[in-house]
Chains A and B, each alone.
Chain A
Amino acid sequence: MRFIRAMLRNPTTSVGVVLCIVVVLGALLAPWLSPHDPAEQSILDRLQPPGGEFLLGTDTFGRDVLARILWGARISLVIAVTSISAAILIGGSIGMVSGYAGGRFDLLVMQVMDVMLSFPSLILGLIVVALLGPALLNLVIAIALTAIAPFARIARAPVLSLKQRAFVEAGRALGFSHARVLFVHILPNILSEVLVMGSLWMATAVRTEASLSFIGLGVKPPTPTWGGMMRDGFENILDAPWLSIWPGLAILVLVLGLNMVGDGLRDATDPKLAGT
């Protein structure tokens, strides 16, 4: 509770939380908030500018942009949350075990992680989706792959210093198993650090998903995605600039919100870093 209050005292975080809540509510309440069906095509209503019956206008198929943005939020959120959760789970475990075990094993694992880290993440995502095919699960896999190595590093660093603490040695002396020491004693001490980075990486995941969709490697149409909408809008940029503007702003709102929350959380968990 103290933590949440400290977090909300920071204006950046409060704004970030509000932005995120807006997007999450939009996604959850999409069926009730959308004035139209996101897939409903209407030749007569093609490329209607914003205002009037279609608040944010319509696209080349006459579909309601507002509805598509609300439904598109679901895709962005689902992909970001699942891919980053998977990356935290896999990468975090790798980093914790590697750091705790130390020695040659740690050296080898971190070498592999460094190699993965040095690979440009968008290119990696691009190739993986291109090879596996553009589907929701494959996007999750691709984005999770790009975030595993960073989370291995994020989780490993504090484990290295924690395992030097006497309470870890005490646990061993008391006959606790390595697994117990690592997951019951060390894990709670690194969790906040990892989760803070989680929200910053979710911002990156939203960006990557949108970028892949923009390139044409997103969840297949007609499922509405923000990146895919930008792609359609880009093709009609001369006649219908609103088709690019609205989804662009939607992406910006969510990514900015997540980044603000992440920054504020980092300040709240680590007072030393406050404001950096």
Chain B
Amino acid sequence: MTPILEVAGLKKHFSTTRGFPWPVKTVVRAVDGVDFRVHRGEAFGLVGESGCGKSTAARALLRLIEPDAGSIRFDGTDLRAASAGALRTLRQRMQIVFQDPYSALNPRRAIGRTLAEPLIVHGRARGAAAREAAAALLAEVGLPAAAMARFPHEFSGGQRQRIGIARALALRPDLIVADEPVSALDVSVQAQILLLLRQLQASRNLAFVLVSHDLGVVRWFCARVAVMYLGRIVEQGPAAQVFAAPRHPYTRMLRDASPVPDPACRAVLPRVVGEIPSAAAPPAGCHFHPRCPRATDICRATWPGWTEAAGHGCACHHPDGGGWGVAQ
């Protein structure tokens, strides 16, 4: 079966020109060659620190930001080659849920209109049918139909996020890109929204690309996960494996920095500190080497290739379980 989403070599560079009288062009490689695939009904996680390019990748794969290179195949169709009309049709099947529920809804539109609008624009329903559909969407995310006549400012953050999710569901998509869907919410509300998303995943057989910096959220929600560092994926595999036995030292660092329920997994390595370097001037070789306790000369010289075994791969010269300890 073809995966619902197949991303290969996705790149997005931003360039800025500044300075006088000799302007200097700076290129920020926000997304620098990312490959992954998501299967129907699967929840795929994209984790990393802020600034690693995960949100840019999420937007680029919907072509909300135009990617510079790479291919995005949605259900077998190349999204980057699609015409404006074809893209319009394809986009109905892939939707996005945003981080900030406060800016995600148009403050001047009643909820009912916001939810019915996509249906009307795409000619799927109109009038009373569109209103009924909007009410059904609200019910599906756990809000009363009375919410239709109200405006965004009358709702709490969690309720707004539910409305944002309802809007994403309106066109019956196969895939939802959720960009930090709970990080702006109170912890108690986070759990409710995650449960709602999981329910929807099951009832609608939805595939998810969940972008988050919160390992706990990704570990709980996603079947498979990719870890991003400075625009590239450094480790990818089944979530349980990646977090239980990380192979890339960066993944290990992230895991050790977030609370883990299993004391047996406690770090054997010293905790890695340091700031994420600027994506405008990434370190040579393996981007992670300045923060890595295992860095050697080869790490400083060349980018490690991708090695994969049993669906769990990483890009590291000295991966855990890859014989690094033995070689010493």
Residues of A within 8 A of B (CB): 164-167, 169-170, 172-176, 180, 185, 188-189
Contacts and interface: CB of A to CB of B under 8 A. Distances in A.
A174 B171 contact: yes
B121 A167 contact: no
A166 B104 CA distance: 4
B5 to A, nearest CB: 15
B154 to A, nearest CB: 13
Given A166-B104, A170-B167, A175 B122 contact: yes
Contact of A170 (B94, B96, B107): B96
A176 B104 CA distance: 15
Q: Of A165, A169, A170, A173, which is in contact with the most chain B CB atoms at under 10 Å from its CB? A: A173
Contacts, number: 58
Contact of A174 (B98, B99, B109, B118): B118
A178 B92 CA distance: 16
B25 to A, nearest CB: 15
**Which 5 A-B residue pairs are closest in the complex by CB-CB distance?**
A166-B98, A166-B104, A165-B103, A188-B108, A174-B118
A175 B94 CA distance: 10
B98 A175 contact: no
A180 B96 contact: no
Contacts of A174: 91-92, 95, 117-118, 121, 167, 170-171
Contact of A173 (B96, B100, B109, B121): B96
Interface in B14-45: none
Contacts of A180: 121
A interface secondary structure, majority = helix
Nearest to B89: A175
A170 B98 contact: yes
Contacts of A164: 103
B97 to A, nearest CB: 9
Contacts of B117: 174, 176
A189 B64 contact: no
B interface secondary structure, majority = loop
Contact of B103 (A167, A176, A185): A167
Nearest to A192: B108
B150 to A, nearest CB: 15
A167 B104 contact: yes
A186 to B, nearest CB: 9
A165 B104 CA distance: 7
B107 A173 contact: no
Interface in B104-161: 104-109, 117-118, 121-122
Contacts of A189: 106-108
A175 B88 contact: yes
Q: Of B89, B106, B109, B167, which is in contact with the most chain A CB atoms at under 10 Å from its CB? A: B106
Contacts of B108: 188-189
18 contacts: A166-B98, A166-B99, A166-B100, A166-B104, A167-B104, A167-B106, A169-B64, A169-B98, A170-B98, A170-B104, A170-B164, A170-B168, A173-B62, A173-B64, A173-B95, A174-B92, A175-B92, A175-B121
Interface in B244-287: none
A165 B160 CA distance: 14
Contacts of B59: 169
A49 to B, nearest CB: 56
B64 A172 contact: yes
A78 to B, nearest CB: 31
Nearest to B84: A177
A166 B103 contact: yes
Contacts of A185: 106, 109
Contacts of B164: 170
A174 to B, nearest CB: 4
A170 B165 CA distance: 11
Contacts of B96: 169-170, 173
B22 to A, nearest CB: 20
A162 to B, nearest CB: 9
B118 A167 contact: no
Contacts of B106: 167, 185, 188-189
Contacts of B171: 174-175
A269 to B, nearest CB: 13
Nearest to A170: B104
A84 to B, nearest CB: 23
Nearest to B65: A169
Contacts of A175: 88-89, 91-92, 118, 121-122, 171
A173 B103 CA distance: 15
B11 to A, nearest CB: 20
A175 B91 CA distance: 6
